[in-house]
Amino acid sequence: MSCLACGLEVPSYARSCPSCGKDCGFPNVRSADAQDEVARLQSRVDAAHVSAKARGCFDELIEFGENVKTSKAVISRPLAKIHELLSNERTSYVSFQKEVNSGARQAEDNEFDKVRKQYEEALFPHFSAEIIFALLSLTEAGMVGYGTHTMTLKDKMIGHRSTVFEENPHNFVEKHGIVLNQPIPPGYRASWGSRHDLAMAKLHSRIDSATEKAHHANIIATDNGGSGNSDWIEVHIYGSINRNAIENVSGPKPKLKADQVIWQSIQETLKSLSS
Amino acid sequence: MEAFVSGQAARVVFVEGMDVSYIEADDPKRVLKIRHTDIHAILGGASDVERIIVDKHEDVFGRLLEKYNFDRCFRMLDIAVSDDEGTATRISAAEAFSEIALDSRTYESIKNYSLACYNSDIHFSNEIADLFKGNQFFLDFLSELVECQIHILSFDEALKKSFASNQIDQDVSAEFRHRAIDTGLFRKVVEAKRDGNKVEDAVLHGYLDLQDISSSRLILQGWTKQFLAQKSKRSLKQLESDFESYSTSDYQPREHDERNRYQTYLAVQRQQDVIIEKLMAGEKTIARRFTGQMIKSQISSGDTEYAAKSLTKLATEARRLGLHSIELEWAKQATELAPEDGIAMGMLADTYLNLYRFPDAERAFTAAVKMGDSEFGTLGLARMQRMSGDPVGALAALEKIKDLQPHQSPHAIHFWQGYCGTLKDLYQLDEALSAIDEACKHFPNESSLMCIRANILFELGEFEASLEAYGNIVSLFPNESTPRCGKAWVLCKIGELQSALPEFEEVTKRFPNEVNGHIGRATVLRDMGKHTEALEAFIAATKKFPHSPATFCGIAETHREMGNLPNALSAYDKAIQRFELEIVARNGRANILKTMGEFQRALQEYDRNVKDFPYNLYALNGRADLLRRLGEYDDAIKAYDTIIDRHPKEGHARVAKSAILVAQKRFDEALELLSTDAPKTEDDWVGFHIRGIAALYQGEFDAAAKIFERGVSESPFYGKRHYFQSALAATKMRKLDFSGAASLLSNSKDPVSNLLLVHSLSELGRTSEAAQALDRVEANLGGALGLLHIELGARYKLTIGKCKHDEQWIFERESEAFLQAA
């Protein structure tokens, strides 16, 4: 893109113009708003409408899309890690890569973390270290199978710098056969304000004439905990978050005493932050 | 299996081949499955993940508890001393701390860490004493911690200075600090200083405990010199020297005599044979256990390299038997035992590739390149590009290798297979033939290359030449199954079913463990209309080859051709239950739903398949076909165009699009898409049928009849012949020969033929027979068929209702029904 202030070229990964320093917006949001992304997503939405009309569930699909407009970004984390974030305003939740780069965390000796950077770079070339990952949810419960405790994020803290993506990028890269630094095909991401379009394009086959509003939460984030087939829409947030971005923490009351203490501490902190 | 243990996450993730699962600390017996791609989500950003190898889930419970207790103990301490927390929470935290720290291991660990990390929040006051007055254990611990803070701070600063003055890099610094804390060295020097004791003893232990860290002595010296008493420095030097002699006199290499080595080799061979037998018998647990024992024994004999080779060999066997999870598990284990072994790495890369785990395969092939096996790695990467739908990129990579005279390389045959196969994928068939001819010149006795040549000839439509080529390979290599199967499949595909059957029967006799022969035989029987025999053959094949999805799908397709749609659906359900991500089964199921008139469910299934397999032609064509069937022509054309854009020579999409164009009376555009050569393949015959319908639409009845008559008499495909027969009947009806039409349609089974029969019988005044025929057709067919059903029922008073259209409209809908079903 060209800088709106000086007209010179701004690299796709840069947040501000390297020539005049003008803030050019969040690179992930710019990517999602690019013309070919929007056009391709629209053609997927059109195909979804065609199928839904043919199956007699067009109204149900539209209702689903409307409901998705109210969805939130949630992050499931172990109770202990949520407590760490909430206990101090100076503590930030940053990307895995930033944690590793800062020395706060070591890349685990497993193949999964080794390929992680690979697909994160495919999605966000040269700025993947800036992105943190959440998922889209219509409830505050998150994915029961994947993390018993879930942080719900405040729209006003993340919406302007967030984009949504079709699914877990690792699954996406495998499913689409994206190899050797090939770019991600257009049509599978959207800005926060268009998350309902992505949801309809992706999930129309899950909607039928019997679909009711109560089913939407399970359609947008299908939790097959224990079966290995869970599926969701990812939220990619540029930059870090701290406790001020957390609206709520949900999950069952822990069974073990130490975890109950942590839970109690979390609840008290949330209460004091909201007052 | 691998176990990733985290106390922070209170979880353990287990990885055993393709199977990934996890347990939670509060309910460790409940094992939940996940996908391999979700491991990082399960461990949720934990920074204390430890990887260990275990035999069973229970083996890791103890370690999980240790790590959990350690993490929670630390957190309880933090909460208890934090002024930001509520009073009740702090008291509860201190209680939880005291309970957890009762375990001596946890206590030691927490002390090691808390007496090494300076914490400015730690303080002691009357208020604190009052707050925790009922918890003396905690108060004692806290008071000790407070006393030590000043010493912790000074040792911490000294350590940082030592790192800086010795120019120690960040990784080594982090490792040193971690080990100094974990081994208790840091705590010991702090305690010694607090108690006014000498720190020398602790430092000397440090030399031993941290000796494997580079520059550890320098760091230790720099770190502790200011805390050592002056007169002890000489004895320290003495002890350093003792340590030198200890560390160099320990290792004596083990020697093997050749005889023992040979005996070991024979024993390992026998063990491998038994393991393979167990795999073949489906006894996977025993095979895994035996393999674990064999590998342990090889490693303990110092034969790590051979242990890796054993695992690679067994992984190959597992692949042959379709046991991909075990294959992956063993291939991974082999690379861990011999990380520099290019063959083991290549096996792992291949395994990932066959499982479509492209990012993992890419990493492994790249590693193989770095290990020096650059040709193998580069070839692998090109294969990966080809499999991931980028044949153009693959070809470019292979062209580069070609310039390096690949016939002189040990991977030459694989190169030529990949190169010619990629050209074939790109429909550059003439180039593919030239390339394979060149390859065969370099390797005149290589049957796999000869088979590729025969296959390319088939793709070029040179059926006789292809058959002759396969025949030659069979005579040169009578003990190989691939050329025989290749020949039989050519015969099958060109409709020479009578010749194909004995060929496949010969394959099944000579190569009873070759699944392709059994599937081929059953398929030919089905194509010949011998449904009962085909069904028996497919059922027998599922028992013999339970890992082959094609055998299960074969049963379903045979039921479909027999008209037993509920049985077909149930057979597909079984196939999908067994092979969840088998696209052929999933599309087959959707096709059955379509045939049953369950269009909405069928479309939903196709859409799901497109979502899960975005580039799969079956899925994309299935969705487009259904839109066509429903008469949504513009949307269907868009869907076919998407396919044709990606695969310009894809036969089905072109033929199907031409059917829509005929229905829209865009005859010239339609005919441009159809081949003018004599029909051979199934798609050719469908295209030929559409050509006939185009003639019928345009009133060229004689031309249409000629085409349909040829189809009835010459089409080798049983499943397609009756469409020609029905279309011929429709042509006779257009010429008002209803008697001739009814006679052709007397054994009608499909809805199109039945509705034609209703029309003919009604025109002949045989109303009750017409009503019976109408009853055989579901009313909810949708598209042209649905409209016809209503109109014919009303027109001939077979149902209640008023007719709305004239005869011409009926004739056009009858033709359109063929086009929607084509």
10-residue averages of pLDDT along chain A (275 residues)? 87 89 92 94 92 92 96 90 87 76 58 67 84 90 71 95 91 75 86 97 93 93 68 93 93 90 94 84
B26 touches chain A (CB under 8 A): yes
What per-residue confidence (pLDDT) applies to A190?
Answer: 97
- What does the pLDDT look like over B398-419, one tens digit per residue? 888 777 665 666 778 888 888 9
B665 by DSSP, 3-state: which?
coil
Which range, of B222-236, B471-485, B612-626, averages the lowest pLDDT? B222-236
What per-residue confidence (pLDDT) applies to B319?
Answer: 81
Q: How far is B392 from chain A (nearest CA, A)?
A: 13
Residues 218-257, chain B, touching A (beta carbon < 8 A) = none
What per-residue confidence (pLDDT) applies to B254?
Answer: 47
B34 touches chain A (CB under 8 A): yes
Cβ-defined contact of B76 to A47 (cutoff 8 Å): no
Cβ-defined contact of A56 to B613 (cutoff 8 Å): no
What mean pLDDT value characterizes chain B?
A: 84
What per-residue confidence (pLDDT) applies to B405?
Answer: 63
Q: What ranges make up the beta strands (E) of A33-71?
A: none
Evaluate whether A19 touches A7 at the Cβ level (below 8 Å).
no
Evaluate whether B44 touches A77 at the Cβ level (below 8 Å).
yes
Chain A residues lying within 8 Å of B72, measured CB to CB:
80, 256, 258-259, 262
For B117, list phi and psi in degrees, rounded to 5.
-120, 115
- What does the pLDDT look like over B320-345, one tens digit per residue? 777 778 888 888 888 888 877 777 88
- What does the pLDDT look like over B719-775, one tens digit per residue? 677 889 899 999 999 889 999 999 988 877 778 888 999 999 999 999 999 998 888
Looking at residues B684-705, what average pLDDT do you find? 91
DSSP notation for B304-368: HHHHHHHHHHHHHHHHHTT-HHHHHHHHHHHHHH-TT-HHHHHHHHHHHHHTT-HHHHHHHHHHH
Evaluate whether B310 touches B272 at the Cβ level (below 8 Å).
yes
How does DSSP classify residue A152?
E
Residues 6+ apart with CB under 8 A from A194: A32, A38, A41, A164
Q: How far is B300 from chain A (nearest CA, A)?
A: 24
Looking at residues B6-27, what average pLDDT do you find? 86
Looking at residues B547-573, what average pLDDT do you find? 91
Q: Is the pLDDT of residue B249 over 50?
A: no
- In angstroms, the CA A39 to CA A187 distance is 7
Residues 149-178, chain A, touching B (beta carbon < 8 A) = 168, 170-171, 173-178
Q: Is the pLDDT of residue B359 over 60?
A: yes
How large a percentage of chain B has pLDDT more than 70? 93
- In angstroms, the CA B651 to CA B647 distance is 9
For A80, list phi and psi in degrees, rounded to 5.
-65, -40
B52 touches chain A (CB under 8 A): no
Tokens encoding B78: 């933090």
- In angstroms, the CA A201 to CA A165 distance is 11
What per-residue confidence (pLDDT) applies to A63?
Answer: 97
Chain B residues lying within 8 Å of A108, measured CB to CB:
4, 43, 49, 51
B108 touches chain A (CB under 8 A): no
Chain A residues lying within 8 Å of B174, measured CB to CB:
103, 106
* Chain B, nearest residue to A89 by Cα: B84
Neighbouring C-beta atoms of residue B543, cutoff 10 Å: 8
Among the listed residues A229, A258, A62, A270, the one whose alpha carbon sits nearest the alpha carbon of residue B89: A258
What per-residue confidence (pLDDT) applies to B1?
Answer: 83
Residue type, B737: D
Reported confidence tier of residue B230, pLDDT bands at 50, 70, 90:
low
Q: Is the pLDDT of residue B251 over 50?
A: no
Residue type, A9: E
Q: How far is B689 from chain A (nearest CA, A)?
A: 27
Residues 6+ apart with CB under 8 A from B357: A174, B36
Tokens encoding B463: 């059926």
Which range, of A184-188, A255-259, B594-598, B677-681, averages the lowest pLDDT? B677-681
Q: How far is A241 from chain B (nearest CA, A)?
A: 14
- In angstroms, the CA B190 to CA B181 distance is 11
What per-residue confidence (pLDDT) applies to B491?
Answer: 92
Give strand pairing partners of B33. A226, B21
Residues 304-333, chain B, touching A (beta carbon < 8 A) = 332
Evaluate whether B39 touches B348 at the Cβ level (below 8 Å).
no
Evaluate whether B373 touches B404 at the Cβ level (below 8 Å).
no
- What does the pLDDT look like over B32-61, one tens digit per residue? 887 777 777 777 777 788 888 888 888 899
Cβ-defined contact of A170 to B37 (cutoff 8 Å): yes
Reported confidence tier of residue B459, pLDDT bands at 50, 70, 90:
confident
Residues 6+ apart with CB under 8 A from B693: B659, B662, B704, B727, B815, B818, B819, B822
In which residue are the tokens 């699944």 written? Answer: B515
- What does the pLDDT look like over B433-445, one tens digit per residue? 999 999 898 888 8
Reported confidence tier of residue B98, pLDDT bands at 50, 70, 90:
very high
Q: CA separation (Å) from B754 to B5, B694, B722, B822?
A: 65, 21, 12, 16
Q: Is the pLDDT of residue B247 over 50?
A: no
Among the listed residues A161, A183, A148, A120, the one whose alpha carbon sits nearest the alpha carbon of residue A15: A161
B345 touches chain A (CB under 8 A): no
What per-residue confidence (pLDDT) applies to A225?
Answer: 61
* Chain B, nearest residue to A254 by Cα: B26
Chain B residues lying within 8 Å of A205, measured CB to CB:
604-605, 607-608, 610-611
Evaluate whether B97 touches B132 at the Cβ level (below 8 Å).
no
Cβ-defined contact of B363 to A106 (cutoff 8 Å): no
- In angstroms, the CA B50 to CA B62 distance is 13
How large a percentage of chain A has pLDDT more than 70? 89
Q: Which of B70, B99, B173, B604 to mutate to test the interface with A (most CBs of A within 10 A)?
A: B604
- What does the pLDDT look like over B264-306, one tens digit per residue? 777 778 888 888 888 877 778 888 888 888 888 888 777 788 8
Of B2, B79, B174, Cβ closest to residue A261? B79
Evaluate whether A209 touches A142 at the Cβ level (below 8 Å).
no
How large a percentage of chain B has pLDDT more than 90? 24
Reported confidence tier of residue B822, pLDDT bands at 50, 70, 90:
low
B229: exposed, middle or buried (Cβ count in 10 Å: 0-12, 13-18, 19+)? exposed
Reported confidence tier of residue B19, pLDDT bands at 50, 70, 90:
confident
What per-residue confidence (pLDDT) applies to A263?
Answer: 95
